[in-house]
Every structure is written in structure tokens, then in C-alpha cells.
Amino acid sequence: MPYDEEFPWTLCNCQALRQASRHVTQFYDQALAPSGIRTTQYSILHRVHEQGPKTVNELAEQLVMDPSTLTHNLRPLLKEGLIVLQVGSDRRRRAVTLTPQGKATHQRARVLWLRAQAEFEQVFGSTRAVALRQLMQDIVRADLTPSATKPTRKRRE
């Protein structure tokens, strides 16, 4: 692959994924800007819209996020009145629920997201976009626990 001075080739998988992720996130953030929310916020609203109320831990697991990071990302949504945290059957658990304003914001953002999705697939190609999503799903499902932290099995002699 030829060397590109603006975007030099990297052998680091993590860096390459993060660069691509930031690039795509910036694209979607710009597309969603008229709705007043960012891509990370849209992902949360959409997941709750599609699946109904979820505890912070359930939502964090589904979004492949640390619960404390998700809690940080929920704060602006709570402040804007787009979600509420309702007490669940166990008083210690809180379920993330969309408010009517959150549903309306999701609906506005959904139209913008669909346009961005179509534009991404037009630029990148639908077949490649599907393959990319499958590859990313494979990465999420892979056991990427570093060898140094995996339990070792003692050999029987």
C-alpha cells in the first residue's frame, strides 16, 4: 500500500480502527447536528427506542461500553429531558426510558441518520458497508483478552 503523507499507514490495528472510527463518527455527527444530538447519543436513544427501557448495565453491555462511560454519556440526555431513569422492580436498579421529547428527538435524528447511512453506503459501497459491519461484529465477538491476563491451565503430567 502506498505511503500517504496526510494519512500514513499504520501497522497498529487499534490505531487504524480508532482513526476510522473517529472519521466515521465525525461524518455522522455532522449529519445529525440539526437534531441537536451526537452519534453517541443517537445510539443510546435508538437502542432504548427499539428495545424499550434498559438498565444502565444492560445498555452498556449492548453498546459495548463501560457502565461509567455510559453514565457519563447519559448526563446530557437527562439534562435535556430526553431520557429519565426510572426505578425498576429492584429499587437499586434504574431503567433508561425515553421521554416524549426523547422520542421526538429520536424521530428527527432517525431521518438524518438514514440519510447519512445512505450517503456512507453510496461513497463506500453497500456490499463493502455490509462486509464492514460484519467484520466489526466479528471483532466485538472475538475474545481479545490479553494473554497476560488470561488464566493459565496447568499441564497434567
Domain with residue 73: its CATH number is 1.10.10.10
State residue 153's pLDDT score. Answer: 59
State residue 155's pLDDT score. Answer: 52
Does any domain span residue 152?
no
Handedness of CA 96, 101, 107, 108 (dihedral sign): negative
pLDDT of 154 strictly over 80:
no
- Categorize the per-residue pLDDT at 7 as very low, low, confident or very high, splitting at 50, 70 and 90: low
Determine the 3-state secondary structure of 74 from DSSP: helix
Does any domain span residue 129?
yes
Does any domain span residue 157?
no
Does any domain span residue 2?
no
Does any domain span residue 4?
no
The answer to whether the predicted template modeling score (pTM) of the entire model surpasses 0.85 is no
Q: Into how many domains does the chain fold? A: 1
Per the structure, the complete domain to which residue 38 belongs is given by 13-139
Does any domain span residue 7?
no
